[in-house]
Amino acid sequence: MSGRDDAIVLGAGVVGVSTAYALARRGVAVTIVDRAAGPGRGASFANGGQLSYAYADPLASPGLLRRLPALAIGADPAFRLRWRADPGLLRWLLAFLRNCTAERFRANTLAMLRLTLESKLALHALLERHPLAFAHRAAGKLHVFDGEDAFVQARALMPVKENAGARQQALTPSEAIAIEPALELARGRMAGAIYSPDDEVGDPHLFCRALTEVLVRDYGVRTRFGAAAERIESTGVRPQLRMVDGHVHSAETLVLCAGIGGATLLRPLGVRPPIVPMKGYSITAEPGRMAPRVSITDVARKLVFCRLGRQMRIAGLAELGDGDPGVERKRRDTLVASARASLPEAVDWDGVIENWAGLRPMTPDSLPVIAVARPGLVVNIGHGALGWTAAMGSGERAAQLALAAKE
Q: What are residue 370's DSSP bridge partners?
A: 380
Cβ atoms within 10 Å of 324's Cβ, excluding its own: 12
Per-residue pLDDT of the chain (407 residues; tens, 9 = 90+): 334 469 999 999 999 999 999 999 999 999 999 999 999 999 999 999 999 999 989 999 998 888 777 777 777 888 888 777 788 889 999 999 999 999 999 999 999 999 999 999 999 999 999 999 999 999 999 999 998 999 999 999 999 999 999 999 999 999 999 999 999 999 999 999 999 999 999 999 999 999 999 999 999 999 999 999 999 987 767 889 999 999 998 899 999 999 999 999 999 999 999 999 999 999 999 999 999 999 999 999 999 999 999 999 999 999 998 999 999 999 999 999 999 999 999 999 998 999 999 999 999 999 999 999 999 999 999 999 999 999 999 999 999 999 997 76
- Measured in whole angstroms, how far is the alpha carbon of residue 394 from the centre of its chain? 11
Angle formed by the axes of helices 14-24 and 102-129, nearest 10°: 60
Contact 386, 11 (CB under 8 A): no
**H or E element that contains 83:** none
> H helices within 313-382, ranges in order?
329-342
Contact 50, 39 (CB under 8 A): no
Please provide the DSSP assignment of 85-140 as one string.
S-HHHHHHHHHHHHTTSHHHHHHHHHHHHHHHHHHHHHHHHHHHHS---SS-B---
| The predicted structure's pLDDT at residue 2 | 36
| Sign for the pseudo-dihedral over CA of 306, 150, 173, 75 | positive
- CATH number of residue 12's parent domain: 3.50.50.60
| The predicted structure's pLDDT at residue 407 | 66
**H or E element that contains 32:** strand 30-34
CA nearest neighbour of 295 among 404, 138, 153, 168: 138
Contacts of residue 253, defined as CB under 8 A and 6 or more positions apart, other chains included, come to 6, 7, 8, 28, 239, 376, 377, 378, 402, 405, 406
| The predicted structure's pLDDT at residue 1 | 33
CA nearest neighbour of 158 among 140, 171, 148: 171
Angle formed by the axes of helices 102-129 and 148-163, nearest 10°: 60
Amino acid in position 327: V
In a 3-state reduction of DSSP, which class is residue 70?
Answer: helix
Decide: pTM greater than 0.85. yes
Measured in degrees and rounded to the nearest 5, phi and psi for residue 297 equal -115, 120
The CA distance from 342 to 299, in Å, is: 10
Residue 56 structural domain:
5-406
Per the structure, the count of domains in the chain is: 1
- Measured in whole angstroms, how far is the alpha carbon of residue 386 from the centre of its chain? 3
Angle formed by the axes of helices 14-24 and 387-406, nearest 10°: 40
In a 3-state reduction of DSSP, which class is residue 45?
Answer: coil
If phi over 0 gives left and psi between -120 and 50 gives alpha, with beta otherwise, what is residue 227?
beta
| The predicted structure's pLDDT at residue 5 | 60
Q: Strands 276-287, 347-362: parallel, antiparallel or unpaired by DSSP?
A: antiparallel
| Sign for the pseudo-dihedral over CA of 366, 398, 139, 325 | negative
